[in-house]
Amino acid sequence: MPASTLPPLSRQFVAHFGEMGSKWGINRTVGQIYALIFISERALNADEISELLEFSRSNVSMGLKELQAWRLVHLRHQPGDRREYFEAPSDVWEIFRVLAEERRRREIEPTLSMLRNAMLEEPSSDEERHAQQRMREMHDLIDRLMKWFDDVQRLAPETAMQLMGMGATVTKVLGLKDRITGASRKKTPS
């Protein structure tokens, strides 16, 4: 089945994910492989993915290994077939949760660790004290966001979706919209 057999909407989605992959820290091929698996009605094997996307089998194998390392695809076996089949979790909230956990483990935790270590150092000058204070502010913000994220992770998906929908209501109730608008007007030159 050549790539041209993908329906136009599917081709568009797969191409877009490939382009966005580099912005998200993965390569184009991995983004396209994931997009294809995500929209597929059934689990796909590497040969099918290779044929549909017109990628080499080795590129598909490497991409699948990367997606497995990110825990974004699940390996399945089918009775009487020795090939491995891959599928994406069906729940988009679960996909978001896994992706957020992986990004946290790979990117945020090392940053927090570096900041913690930097705060333990004894500054030797006013310049270093200032830098350390700025690092402490960054650490505290990231740490607070991660604690909030942990709380959100424990919510049922339906509750989390309701929470996300409350953004405009909360800012209105807290009067933040007026403060934000007022602050941006002050910054805008007359």
pLDDT tens for each residue of 138-188: 999 999 999 998 888 888 888 888 887 777 676 676 766 556 555 555 555
Distances (CA, A) of 176 to 89, 93, 131, 145, 163: 37, 28, 30, 19, 17
Query: So what CATH class is 3-87?
Result: mainly alpha
Q: What average pLDDT does this structure show over 107-129?
A: 95
What confidence tier does 2 reach under pLDDT thresholds 50, 70, 90? Answer: very low
Half-sphere exposure of 36 (CA within 13 A, CB side): 32
Question: What's this model's pTM, rounded to 2 decimal places?
Answer: 0.72
pLDDT tens for each residue of 12-35: 999 999 999 878 878 999 999 999
Round the average pLDDT of the chain to a whole number and report it.
88
